[in-house]
Structure 1
Amino acid sequence: MTWSPDLLIIVTLTFLLAGTVKGVIGMALPTVSLGILAATLGLKEAIVLMLVPSFVTNVWQGVIGGNFTILIKRLWGLLAAMLLGTWFGAEALTMTDTSILEALLGVTLIGYGIFGLLTPELPTMKRRERWLSPIVGGATGILAGLTGSTVLPVVPYLQTLGMSRDAFIQAMGICFSTAALGIGIGLTGRSLMPPDLGILSAIGVLPALLGMMVGRVIRVRLSEQRFKQVFFFSVVVLGAYIVARAYIL
């Protein structure tokens, strides 16, 4: 891919915005960056470009907070299944038509946005956690390997485990960084991670971190509930656009 000024501007602004959203609500950097980059550059390029910023920011989120060891012991089955799932998902990525994958990403974003807008009360799954975690991890990994999206079904599932807010945010960081690692390994092993895109992905770390700092400032001045409503509505619109782009536009 040619590094044109337009490309650098798109990547920089995308990760600045994605980092800002993550700074406000503690998640959604892959969602925002994937949605915008898939709509402008294509899904496979978007998946590669979001990997390094997603991994770095989520490792930071996952390590800080004091619950890291406890969460690793609790979620190891989910994380192992997620890594395995990303391998199968990345394999399917090489054999599936791009328009189908873009539509799948769009549908995933729409579902995620609607879930966020409705914020339904979910039943607790703590008693089923031992056998349900590997299933959720595997499903999340497969979907992540196919589309790059790491939010479903793992985020709603984590909400059913009765964690504190801090532990929940830290658990999301651990899960998202694990998925990014698995996707990176899967794509590299299948020669789907060109060095030029890998370098450009690394460049995206700086605006992502800057955006996170901006987001933290916004968080103390803005109603988090109102911001989430605007954000999730925007995700639905973006997902609908990606589906339309895949089959209509």
Structure 2
Amino acid sequence: MDSPPHPAQHARMDAMSSGMMVFVTAVFLAAGAVKGVSGMGLPTVAMSLLGLAMPTASAAALLVAPSLATNLAQCFGAHTRRLVALLWPVWLALVLATIFLPLPADAESQRLSRIALGAVLVLYGLWGLAARKLPQPTRALPGWGLLVGGVTGVITAATAVFVMPLVPYLQALRLERDALIQALGLSFTVATVALAIRLQGSASLHLLSVPVALAFAAAFAGMWLGSRLRAGLSGPAFQRTLHAVFIALGSANLWNGLARG
């Protein structure tokens, strides 16, 4: 993760310009709408767009509260005991890697984090457009879970995005729809809490601020809009569009990071 912002940076964040507040509101409205339609994608969309206008640490600090709150809505269901027994190795490795992984905090590492975020988005978008099923990991499942969780934790610590390889792994388990949605909610909640702990430890998380409140409200408004749109959209067509958007956002972040080299 980026180095902790100087206290003066926090003051500037709390006293964010009206133009930036409009931008933050629009970003979380769009990100919430994506989650409302698909059940996922709020952190990915929000970090991609916010990262074009602010440091990764500042964007992640805005993300934690709305991401955690919207994910909690997906945690409740009839499959909790089964999912805990199945996914605890993923969550354990994800938490340990996210919280304790040491990362360099210089300008070059920030640039590389931007490139990594772009690459994650592009890879995820391409994987989604290919619409190919991954092999079901039936053998040595705890080992696969530890590996997937660890890699996801590394990416989360570096970019604050926890899509890859977590989501493909969950889809490869061939869970029924309701169980998959609950698994996504539980896993994203675990990842968000781990990220919050990491950021709190670096004194870069301010949950009580006007920008965070705006992000929170906009995310829930976007989720409501997305749920309304979901009924009128073709599922496959929307998924193709969504993954194409991820590729475009990832390409923008890759360009942003490479241009600074």
* Superposition TM-score tier, normalisation by shorter sequence: over 0.9
Aligned counterpart, 1:27: 40
2:217 counterpart of 1:206: yes
Residue in structure 2 matching 1:181, options 180, 190, 193:
193
Query: What 5-or-longer segments of structure 1 have no aligned partner?
Result: none
- Trace 1:35-114 onto structure 2 (pairs within 5 A): 35-63=48-76, 65-89=77-101, 91-92=102-103, 94=105, 97-114=109-126
Letter in 1 for 2:182: Q
Residue in structure 2 matching 1:220, options 217, 221, 231:
231
- Work out whether residues 87 and 142 of structure 1, in 8 Å CA contact, stay in contact via their aligned partners in 2: no
How many positions carry a matched residue from both structures?
Answer: 246
Aligned equivalents of 1:58 and 1:182: distance in 2? 14
1:176 is paired with a residue whose SS is: helix
1:123 is paired with a residue whose SS is: coil
Cα root mean square deviation, aligned: 1.7
1:149 is paired with a residue whose SS is: coil
1:134 is paired with a residue whose SS is: helix
Letter in 1 for 2:259: I
Deviation at 1:192, TM superposition (A): 2.6
Letter in 2 for 1:7: M
Deviation at 1:73, TM superposition (A): 2.5
- Work out whether residues 88 and 142 of structure 1, in 8 Å CA contact, stay in contact via their aligned partners in 2: no
Letter in 2 for 1:243: L
Aligned counterpart, 1:168: 180
Deviation at 1:167, TM superposition (A): 0.5
Query: What 5-or-longer segments of structure 2 have no aligned partner?
Result: 1-12
Moved over 3 A (4+): 93-96
Letter in 1 for 2:33: T
Identity %: 33
Aligned counterpart, 2:158: 146
